[in-house]
Amino acid sequence: MEGGWREVLAMLLVLAGLAAPGSGYQIIEGPHNATVLQGSEARFNCTVSPGWKLIMWALQGTVVLSVTPREPIITSDRFTSQSYEDAGGNFISEMIIHDAQPGDSGWVRCSLQNSDREGLAFLAVQVMGALYIPNDSIVVTEDEPCTVTCRALGWSPLPNISWEVAVPVSQSSYYSFLEPGEPRSTVSVLALTPQGNGTLTCVANLRSVQAHKAVAVNLTVVPSPSDSMEKSGASLPTWAIALLAVLCASVFILIVVLIIVFCCCCSSRRKKKESVYQIKIRNSEKDNTKKGTSETKLKNENENYAFSSDEPRTTQMVPLPPKSREALAQGQPSSSPAPQEPRKQQPAPASRPQVSFNIASPQKVRSATLV
């Protein structure tokens, strides 16, 4: 209800001013064009000569603020006024638009009562939209080309996008293009070949209002598999390398000692086996020698008809009983027949053998076969 009364009072003052007799008051300097960001303030000044009665401010053809010499007539809290006086005594009226929105963009007019002169200016409200990189952290391979994408959505007008590369690179470049189906969005692509870790920053600028928005991403560079294998040894600390060398030397010495011990054990076993074998061979040779000597001696004794023992012996022909002769005939070959009875006292033919018994003593009996 209070806002309605304010509008009615403003219209009455405007009509009263228009009905008053005209004068030579005029606008000395009108407002200037302004470009502001959404949500900020827009200010316009209008300078008029002394003696004025009513100043009217219109936005997009609608009066939104009226100013009298005593006080301003405010119809909306978004539109306020301030007054100044310059060195020449001229009056300066300033209209302030609070929380400017894209819908406020348009012509702003300053006019005086009973005057055909007016001042015009254009208000442009720009919108700073969203800016983002799909990933907060990116991991890439060292010295391999990669790309990073930055998107600006909902900007009016479209911003200029640039990159701040705080990463050691061998080469880098970027380009931008409109995103299909999104007239208020643009995309920028950074292509680079990184050589180390760092930060990449995407910056969107609105040059007309000297405003910008930035978003950063951490870039982590990992070595390629081949490089990591080559540098794995160099990445070890000095103490680790020294410890590894000592361990390798100790293992080598231990292996050499084990080999020497093994060889010594094998050699001792071989010598032991050879000594046992040689002892057996030596004993066997001795046994064979003794056996051969005994056999040779026995053979010589059998073949030596003139052999005589040192002990005294008596030789006599002892006749065999009939049963003994039969048993002897059965147990001995026919080449050794039983001896003749002693009563015949005839020598046997040369072709027939004769058996004689040499009785030396009760302990030793030697026999000889004569052919």
116-162 per-position pLDDT tens digit: 889 999 999 999 999 999 988 899 999 999 999 999 999 999 999 99
Residue 251 and residue 254: Cα distance in Å, rounded? 5
CATH second-level architecture of 2-126? Sandwich (2.60)
Write down the pLDDT at residue 327: 42
Average pLDDT over residues 288-298: 65
Average pLDDT over residues 222-240: 68
Residue 322 backbone phi and psi in degrees, to 5: -60, -40
Judged against a pLDDT cut of 80, whether residue 278 lies above it is answered with no
Judged against a pLDDT cut of 70, whether residue 42 lies above it is answered with yes
Residue 224 and residue 96: Cα distance in Å, rounded? 60
Write down the pLDDT at residue 124: 96
Judged against a pLDDT cut of 50, whether residue 314 lies above it is answered with no
Mean pLDDT of the chain: 77
**DSSP secondary structure code for residue 104 in this structure:** G
- Return the number of other C-beta atoms located less than 10 Å from residue 261's C-beta: 10
Judged against a pLDDT cut of 80, whether residue 346 lies above it is answered with no
Please give the share of the chain, as a percent, with pLDDT higher than 70.
66
Burial per residue of 133-155, b for 16 or more beta-carbon CB atoms within 10 angstroms, e otherwise: beeeebebeeeeeeebebbbeeb
Ramachandran region, residue 11 (left: φ > 0; alpha: ψ -120 to 50; beta: rest): alpha
Write down the pLDDT at residue 20: 45
Q: Which CATH superfamily is domain 130-225 in?
A: Immunoglobulins (2.60.40.10)
Q: Write out pLDDT tens, residues 71-106.
A: 899 888 999 999 988 888 899 999 999 999 999 999
